[in-house]
């Protein structure tokens, strides 16, 4: 797997996957998504087939994917085959460029399965290492070395993801301190095929925003990464930027109905507008008014910026429906991915991030 400028962590839900399909070809070339496959709600095999067919359709077979099967747990297809194994083998059979994701919580059977997938032709492997906000270098390195020993792989075969999960305002300084210390003393720092840093400050739910209300949240993960890339220790390798797009870390409950909301990424924050839905399924006037305020402000990227921005402008003009939370997730993710890709392109160190030293 070659280097990517940006590695968004996305769920395999319709809104996020459709957002991938709407990216222009130039932006696609700068992105390698880490896809968390959501658990089946019905027949396991049919569910996996639908997800893979959808992903192949929206992303293609020539684009790389980091395939994370953490939510499949103990699910099995007919015959007792683990759903994770079936998923990865199906992706290889479809000639998709899938990279299996391991983490320290995997048992020996899962690790052995991933090793076999790598031997069968997968493009190496990915280690996803969860870290607390106060992680020390020895803590991170111990987890990494243990996984290396268990998998029997070499660092040169591995994309290493350091995942800090949710980071909130009160944790900002601790997070910045931890990533500087961990990266400065990272084991095999110059050997990893790709080095990736991920976290998110987006809230897990929007329940604290009242209907017809709006709020903003700082993009702490972006601010911390860009600060490190520009002024971090000269000896430290600059990691590839990663985030969770416009979502929190955890998977929403299957029966949870997502709020009607516009999540809009700007330079240093997300704007969130939350609306109500009429009995006919359409958003109320207040939601459209908030969207109109955004599209007429300097913070609007313009309808040419992404599919999501075009949809938003069309919705304000009355040309697009806005009744589906899935559509608004697609709008948010489409805008976010394109916005971050442009943001990274304007960062002078982005082109060199994540890669091994020459």
For residue 91, being part of any structural domain is answered with: yes
Q: Which two tokens stand for residue 45?
A: 């095999």
State how many domains the chain has. Answer: 1
> What residues make up the domain containing 18?
9-352
Work out the average pLDDT over 160-167.
97
In a domain? residue 3: no
136-149 pLDDT per residue, tens: 999 999 999 999 99
Average pLDDT over residues 168-185: 91
Nearest-CA neighbor of 164 among 94, 229, 220?
Answer: 220
Half-sphere exposure of 15 (CA within 13 A, CB side): 21
Please tell me the distance from the alpha carbon of residue 209 to that of residue 212, in angstroms, as a whole number: 8
Question: Token digits for 162?
Answer: 């350091």
- pLDDT tens-digit profile of 50-98? 999 999 998 988 889 999 998 987 788 888 888 888 898 888 888 898 8
Distance CA 338, CA 331 (A): 11
Residue 250's nearest CA partner among 324, 200, 193 is 200
For residue 357, being part of any structural domain is answered with no
Structural domain includes residue 1: no
What pLDDT is stored for residue 357 in this prediction? 47
* 339 domain-assigned: yes
Question: For the domain that residue 309 is a member of, what is the CATH number?
Answer: 3.20.20
Of the candidates 92, 130, 128, the residue with the CA atom closest to the CA atom of residue 110: 128
Task: Return the DSSP state at 283.
Answer: B
Residues in Cβ contact with 20 at an 8 Å cutoff, skipping those fewer than 6 apart? 10, 28, 33, 58, 59, 337
**Residue 14: inside a domain, yes or no?**
yes
Q: What angle do CA 204, 260, 276 make, to 5 degrees?
A: 125
For the record, the structure tokens of 321 come out as 């429906």
Question: Residue 355 has what pLDDT?
Answer: 58
Q: Would the pLDDT of 235 be above 70? A: no
Tell me the per-residue pLDDT of 247-273, one tens digit each, with 9 for 90 and over.
Answer: 999 987 655 566 689 999 999 999 999
Query: In 3-state terms, what secondary structure has residue 302?
Result: coil
Global pTM exceeds 0.85: yes
Whether residue 325 is contained in a domain is answered as: yes
pLDDT of res. 251: 84
Give the pLDDT of residue 282.
Answer: 64
Contact 337, 8 (CB under 8 A): yes
Extract the runs of DSSP E, i.e. beta strands, from the chain: 9-11, 34-36, 64-68, 97-102, 125-130, 158-166, 194-200, 214-218, 240-242, 261-265, 269-274
Q: DSSP secondary-structure letter at 285?
A: H
- Residue 38 covered by a domain: yes
């Amino acid at each position: 797997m070659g280097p990517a400028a940006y590695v968004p962590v996305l769920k395999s839900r319709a809104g996020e996957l459709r957002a991938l399909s709407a990216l222009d070809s130039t932006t696609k070339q700068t992105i390698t998504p880490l896809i968390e496959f959501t658990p089946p709600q019905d027949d396991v095999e049919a569910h996996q087939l639908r997800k893979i067919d959808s992903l192949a359709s929206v992303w293609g077979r020539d684009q790389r994917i980091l395939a994370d099967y953490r939510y499949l747990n103990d699910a099995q297809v007919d015959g007792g085959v683990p759903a994770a194994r079936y998923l990865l083998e199906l992706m290889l059979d479809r000639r998709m460029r899938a990279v299996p994701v391991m983490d320290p919580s995997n048992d020996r059977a899962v690790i052995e399965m991933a090793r076999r997938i790598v031997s069968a032709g997968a493009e190496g492997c990915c280690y996803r290492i969860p870290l607390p906000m106060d992680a020390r270098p020895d803590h991170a390195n111990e987890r990494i070395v243990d996984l290396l020993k268990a998998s029997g792989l070499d660092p040169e075969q591995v994309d290493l993801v350091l995942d800090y999960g949710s980071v909130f305002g009160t944790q900002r300084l601790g997070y910045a301190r931890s990533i500087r210390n961990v990266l400065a003393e990272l084991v095999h720092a110059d050997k990893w095929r790709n080095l990736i840093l991920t976290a998110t400050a987006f809230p897990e739910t929007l329940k604290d925003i009242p209907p017809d209300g709006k709020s903003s949240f700082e993009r702490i993960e972006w601010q911390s990464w860009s600060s490190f890339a520009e002024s971090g220790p000269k000896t430290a390798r600059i990691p590839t930027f990663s985030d969770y797009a416009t979502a929190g870390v955890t998977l929403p409950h299957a029966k949870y109905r997502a709020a009607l909301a516009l999540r809009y990424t700007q330079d240093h924050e997300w704007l969130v507008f939350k609306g109500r839905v009429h009995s006919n399924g359409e958003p109320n006037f207040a939601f459209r008014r908030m969207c109109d305020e955004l599209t007429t402000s300097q913070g609007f990227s313009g309808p040419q910026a992404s599919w999501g921005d075009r949809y938003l402008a069309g919705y304000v003009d009355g040309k697009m429906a806005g009744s589906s939370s899935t559509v608004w997730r697609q709008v948010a993710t489409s805008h976010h991915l394109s916005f971050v890709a442009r943001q990274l392109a304007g960062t002078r160190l982005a082109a060199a991030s994540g890669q091994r030293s020459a």
